[in-house]
Chains A and B, each alone.
Chain A
Amino acid sequence: MGRRAYLGNLELMVLLALIRLGEHAYGIPIAREIEQASGREVVLASLYATLERLEGKGLVSSKLGEPTPERGGRAKTYFQATAKGLREVRITQRALQKLWQGQPQLEGRRA
C-alpha cells in the first residue's frame, strides 16, 4: 500500500462544500455551507489555511475575481475542487463507508 496523505476532517468538509457550490465558491459561501451542515461556527482564517493547504496538495485550484466596493475594494478568491481532489474525496468516502458497515452502535439514531 502506497503512502498517501489522509484528508483531515475540515479538509474533507471543505472539499465537499466546494463540490456542492460549484464554480461560485469563495470564503463566505463555503463557511456557510459547512456551518449549516455541522452546526458550528467556522473561523474564516482556519478555512483559508485549509484551502491553501489543499491547493498546495493539488486538490483545489483558485482564481482571483474582481474587486468590489462592499468588500473594501478587495477581490474574491474563487476555489474549485480539481480532478485529483474529487478522486481523494471518493477514496475517503469508500474508506469511511467500509468502516461504517456492520457497526450496530452507529446504525440507530442515538449514539
Chain B
Amino acid sequence: MKSATGSPSVATWLLERFTFGSGGESLIGDLLEEYRSGRSRAWYWRQALTAVVMSCAVELRDNGLLVLRAVTAGWAALYLGRFLFGSWPEMLSSPFDRRLPVAFDPLGHNGFIWWVFWIPVTLASGCAVGRFRRRPRLMVLAFSLSVLAWELRMLPWIFSLSADVLSNARYVPYLASNLAGLILPPASILLGGLCIAARENGSPGPRRPLTVSCRTQNQREV
C-alpha cells in the first residue's frame, strides 16, 4: 500500500504517530525525499522501523513514571471490565452451549460470546489510557506492549499447536483461536487508544521539542 507521496503508507503512518520530538517531521521529510530519489522500499521500512523503535525507547526511558501510571491504569480498567462483565458470556451462552460452530468455540468455553464482550473491554481500556494528556500515543503503545508481553506466555502452547496442525488439520481452529487471543487484545487496545488520542489531540498532533538527555552518552564515555 502506497501513500499519496508514493511512499509505503503504513511505514509513514507509524512514523507520524510513534516518533516524538522536533526532529520527527524533518526525519520523515528526509526519508520521503530519499525514497523519491530512488531508495528501495526495504530501505524505507528499515529506516522507519529503526526510527520508531529508537524514538519510543528514548521516550519510554525518559517518561518512566508516567508510563508506569498509564500501564497500571490500563490494567485496572481491564480488570474492572473483567469483574463487571466476566460472568456474562457464560450466563448468556448457556442456552446455546455446544451449538456454536467449532471455529468460534473450539475449546467449548463460549469463546465467541467471550470475545464479543472482551473486545469492547480491551477497546475501552485502550480509550482510558488514550485520554492521558501527556504523550497519549506513547502511553497507549506501552500499555498495549505490556498486554502483548503477558499474552506471550501462550507462545509455547501456540508452537505446540502449530506442530499439531502440520500433522492434523483438525487443530487449525484451535490455533486460530489462540492466535486471536494473542493478537486481538493488544491490537484493540491500540485501536481504541489511538482513536481517542487522535480525537483529543489532533492527528498526529503538533510536536514539541524533544528533550534529549545529554548526560547518558557522556556518562557512558567518561
Contacts and interface: CB of A to CB of B under 8 A. Distances in A.
Interface of A: 3, 5-6, 8, 11, 26-28, 31, 43-46, 48-49, 51-53, 56-57, 67-68, 70-72, 74-77
A72 B29 contact: yes
A77 B21 CA distance: 13
Nearest to A55: B212
Contact of B32 (A6, A45, A74): A74
Interface residues of B, number: 34
8 contacts: A27-B26, A27-B30, A28-B30, A49-B23, A49-B212, A70-B32, A71-B30, A72-B5
Contact of A45 (B25, B29, B54, B217): B54
Nearest to A32: B34
A6 B47 contact: no
A8 B217 contact: yes
A70 B7 CA distance: 11
By secondary structure, the B interface counts as helix
Contacts of A49: 23, 54, 58, 212
Given A53-B217, A72-B5, A5 B222 contact: yes
B210 interface: yes
A52 B222 contact: no
B29 A43 contact: no
Contacts of B99: none
